[in-house]
Amino acid sequence: MLSDNRPQTAFELQLCARYLLQQPLTCKEHDAEIFRMVRRHEGELDRWFTQRLGYRLHVNADTARLFKDGCVPQRRPLLTPTLRPFHQLEYVLLALVLGATVAGPDVVSLRDLIERVRSAAIDLAPFGIRVNAVQPGVVNTPFAAVLLDNPEEAADYRKHIPLNRFAEPEEVARAILFLASDEASYITGQGLILDGGLTLGIALALPTNGAIHG
C-alpha cells in the first residue's frame, strides 16, 4: 500500500492510513499510540494521500487532519494491500468516507454539507467515483430517544410530517443501498431527502386522514 521495505514501518504506515480514512480528524487524546505513529510517519502519509487521493495531511501538537487540496493528479486504479484493483462497491464505500472527510468537522448546516458533497463529486467523477448524501429526518433509533420517548412531543412533531410517522432504520438503509448500487450509476453530487415530506412545509394544513382539500 505504502512504499517502505521495513516490515514494521510498512505495517505502521498501513495502520495509520486506514485509521485516518476512518477518522479524518484524529486527536491525541483519542488514541495516543496511533497519533504518535501518524506524527512519526507524517511525511510519507502526506505524500501517499496527496498522490493517490488528492488529500493533504496536517499534523500539529495534538491533532491530525485530512483536508481537500485538489484533484488526484493521475487517473489510475486504487489497489488493496494485496495489490488487487478496487471493485466498484469498494470505490463507493471509499467515496462515502471521502465525503465525510470533505465535510470535515466545521460543517454547520445541511446546505454546507451538500455543497461539499457536490465539490467532492466533481473532483472524483473522472475516476468513476460517485458521491451522494442521504439526509434523513427523525429515525426510530436510540439517537432520537429524547423525542420518541416523549409521547406528547412526538405526536406534536408528527403533525409537521405529511406521512405522519417517523422513519425506520431499514428505510434509510435501503436508500443508501440504492445510491451505492448500479441502479443509481448516473446519480452523483446529490442529497436524497428522507423526511416523510417534512420539508414540504404543508403538514399542519392537512386533516388527520391525510387527504388534501382545495
State how beta strands 25-27 and 191-194 pair: unpaired
pLDDT score recorded for residue 124 = 80
pLDDT at 71: 47
| Three cell numbers, residue 136 | 434523513
- Phi, psi for 213 (deg, rounded to 5): -105, 140
> Residue 95: which of 65, 51, 131 has the closest Cα?
131
Q: How many residues comprise the chain? A: 214
The yes-or-no verdict on residue 72 having pLDDT over 50 is no
CA angle 16, 13, 4 (to 5 degrees): 170
Q: pLDDT (tens digit, 9 = 90+) per residue, 99-111?
A: 555 454 444 456 6
pLDDT-above-90 percentage for the chain: 14
**What 3-state DSSP class applies to 200?**
helix
| Amino acid 10: pLDDT | 84
58 HSE (CA, 13 A, CB side): 6
Residue 112 is predicted with a pLDDT of: 65
The reported pLDDT for the residue numbered 211 is 44
Higher pLDDT, 54 or 127: 127
3 — pLDDT class (breaks 50, 70, 90): very low
Whether the pLDDT of residue 38 is over 60: the answer is yes
